């Protein structure tokens, strides 16, 4: 029996915890020998479960399908298995992956609300882009909201981005992120522990969050309510000995209560990229950002616009300039990619 097939079978075996499965791998020379009865299992209960496994044909069928899709199978015994993920007690026995690069240790999870504000989406994208420019790999869950913004920002720079799914690698969920999945396959990596055809069931997402946390040096929560799944990622990161960070938000907005609560409980308050680097990547030197070349009027209008959205009428009012001039300057700032227009007549810095 092929050892890789045996490891896939072990992953799919019901009745054993992930911790027990990892322990079996660490203590056994061959999982294939255990399934074949050529090596002694730790106890009769485990031996019985191994003998009862009958999913071999399903594995053969899935491997043929995965090969046609260009999906690689990564097991706990492979050298390319991510080092930080291997260290957690409930590491997945098998990962299915698309993407050729090898995940290193300069990694960070960026997570948050699926219903995030424009401001938080902008912050997540900007932070991820800056981290990526420093060669840091951004990990998230390919969901809508903060996850998508984090991947989008990371893909703009040299660092890679890894998306961890709560379903089979052949399923695009959510469907509107198809374009992002395509880019991630080409420029980043998509990972899942679930076999092909496995649907995105609700309980899968807390399970996949342990992979996001396990792959990362630290977890950054950008915006999260009290019931957000992002808090599960933060809790798991803490259990695994990783850094937990959060960006504070308005005390009057329920969508920030989860992130604010994390800070109250001891998470590192983040108000700049320097805080993230000092916390998780002290060995990385930050070079000063290249300044956008702005003329006098552009600099003046740019100074009025912050990282929270501001309406064009407010910009005109604060600038004491005529509307036509302000609109022309805003157009110029957009062309220079200094600001971003938001539906409804709002602007914020990029």
Among candidate residues 58, 1, 49, 2, the one with its CA nearest the CA of residue 24: 49
The verdict on 324 and 214 lying in the same domain is: no
**Do residues 121 and 245 both lie within one domain?**
yes
CB-based contact 117:145 (threshold 8 Å): no
Last residue of a domain, one of 234, 249, 280: 280
Question: Is 30:5 a contact under the CB 8 Å cutoff?
Answer: no
Q: What share of residues in the chain are helix, strand, coil (percent, to 5)?
A: 45, 15, 40
pLDDT by position in tens, the chain (length 350) = 799 999 999 999 999 999 999 999 999 999 999 999 999 999 999 999 999 999 999 999 999 999 999 999 999 999 999 999 999 999 999 999 999 788 999 999 999 999 998 889 989 999 999 999 999 999 999 999 999 999 999 999 988 999 999 999 999 999 999 999 999 999 999 999 999 999 999 999 999 999 999 999 999 999 998 888 899 999 999 999 999 999 998 888 888 899 999 999 999 999 889 999 999 999 988 765 556 678 888 989 998 987 778 999 999 999 999 999 999 999 999 888 888 888 889 998 87
Same domain, 170 and 264: yes
Residue 217 lies in a domain: yes
In 3D space, the residue among 270, 303, 271, 274 whose CA is nearest the CA of residue 288 turns out to be 274
For the record, the structure tokens of 193 come out as 């522990």
Taking each helix axis from N to C end, the angle separating 3-12 and 56-69, rounded to the nearest 10 degrees, works out to 110
Helix ranges (DSSP H) in the chain: 3-12, 18-27, 31-36, 44-52, 56-69, 83-86, 118-133, 146-154, 178-187, 204-215, 230-239, 257-264, 273-280, 296-304, 312-319, 323-335
Same domain? 130 vs 267: yes
- Sorted by sequence, the CB contacts under 8 Å of residue 77 that are 6+ apart come out as 3, 7, 25
Which tokens sit at 199?
Answer: 């649907």
Residue-level pLDDT at 292 = 64
Domain assignment of residue 289, yes or no: no
Per the domain annotation, does 214 fall within a domain? Answer: yes
Beta-bridge partners for 140: 163
Q: Write down which residue in 232, 251, 280 finishes a domain.
A: 280
Q: For residue 169, is it within any domain? A: yes
Whether residue 127 is found in the same domain as residue 272: yes
Domain match, 124 and 237 both? yes
β-sheet bridge partners, residue 108: 138, 218
260 and 322, same domain (yes or no): no
Alpha-carbon span 119 to 218, nearest angstrom: 22
Report the sign of the C-alpha dihedral through residues 199, 204, 209, 215, in that order.
negative
- pLDDT, residue 94, reads 98
Q: Is 22 inside any structural domain? A: yes
Look at the chain and count its residues: 350
Among the candidates 221, 245, 280, a domain finishes at 280
Q: 177 with 230, same domain?
A: yes
Predicted confidence at residue 261, as pLDDT, reads: 93
| Residue span of the structural domain in which 35 resides | 1-54
Q: What is the CATH number of the domain that holds 333?
A: 1.10.10.10
Number of folded domains that form the chain: 3
pLDDT of residue 101: 83
User: Does residue 262 sit in the same domain as residue 342?
Assistant: no
User: Does a structural domain hold residue 342?
Assistant: yes
- Regarding whether 176 and 121 lie in a shared domain, the answer is yes
Whether residue 148 is found in the same domain as residue 245: yes
Question: What is the rounded CA–CA span in Å between residue 166 and residue 182?
Answer: 17
The reported pLDDT for the residue numbered 338 is 87
Strand order across the beta sheet in which 339-342 lies: 310-311, 346-349, 339-342
pLDDT value of position 340 = 86
pLDDT at residue number 103: 93
Establish if 285 belongs to a structural domain. Answer: no
- Joined tokens for residue 48: 């019985």
**How does strand 161-164 pair with strand 189-192?**
parallel
Q: What pLDDT, on a 0 to 100 scale, did the predictor assign at position 256?
A: 86
pLDDT of 290: 53
Does the residue 20 lie in any domain?
Answer: yes
Q: Kindly report the number of other CB atoms within 10 A of residue 167's CB atom.
A: 20
Q: Are residues 146 and 36 in the same domain?
A: no
CATH code, domain with 245: 3.40.50.450
Helices 230-239, 204-215: axis angle to 10 degrees equals 50
pLDDT cut 90: percent of the chain above it: 79
Chain-centroid distance, C-alpha 238? 16
């Amino acid at each position: 029996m092929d050892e890789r097939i045996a490891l896939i079978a072990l992953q799919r075996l019901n009745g054993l915890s992930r911790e027990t499965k990892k322990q079996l791998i660490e203590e056994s020379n061959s999982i294939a020998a255990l399934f074949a009865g050529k090596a002694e299992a730790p106890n009769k209960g485990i031996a019985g479960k191994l003998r009862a496994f009958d999913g071999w044909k399903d594995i053969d069928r899935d491997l043929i399908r995965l090969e046609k899709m260009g999906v690689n199978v990564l097991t706990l015994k492979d050298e390319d298995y991510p080092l930080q993920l291997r260290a957690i007690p409930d590491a997945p026995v098998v990962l299915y992956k698309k993407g050729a690069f090898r995940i290193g240790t300069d990694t960070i999870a960026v997570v948050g609300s699926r219903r995030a504000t424009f401001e938080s989406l902008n912050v997540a994208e900007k932070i991820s882009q800056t981290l990526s420019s420093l060669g840091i790999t951004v990990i998230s869950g390919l969901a809508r909201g903060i996850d998508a913004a984090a991947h989008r920002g990371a893909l703009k720079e040299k660092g890679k981005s890894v998306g961890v799914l709560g379903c089979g690698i052949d399923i695009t969920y959510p469907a509107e992120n198809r374009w992002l999945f395509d880019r991630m396959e080409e420029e980043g990596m998509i990972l899942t522990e679930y076999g092909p055809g496995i649907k995105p069931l609700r309980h899968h997402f807390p399970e996949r969050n342990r992979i996001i946390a396990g792959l990362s040096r630290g977890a950054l929560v950008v915006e999260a309510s009290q019931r957000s799944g992002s808090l599960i990622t933060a809790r798991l990161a803490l259990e695994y000995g990783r850094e937990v960070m959060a960006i504070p938000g308005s005390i009057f907005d329920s969508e920030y209560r989860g992130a604010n609560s994390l800070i109250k409980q001891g998470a590192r308050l983040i108000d700049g990229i320097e805080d993230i680097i000092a916390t998780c990547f002290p060995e990385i030197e930050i070079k000063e950002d290249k300044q956008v070349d702005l003329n006098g009027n552009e600099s003046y209008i740019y100074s009025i616009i912050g990282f929270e959205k501001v309406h064009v009428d407010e910009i005109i009012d604060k600038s004491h300039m005529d509307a036509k001039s302000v609109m022309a300057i805003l157009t110029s700032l957009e062309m220079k990619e200094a600001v971003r227009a938001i539906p409804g007549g709002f602007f914020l810095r990029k």
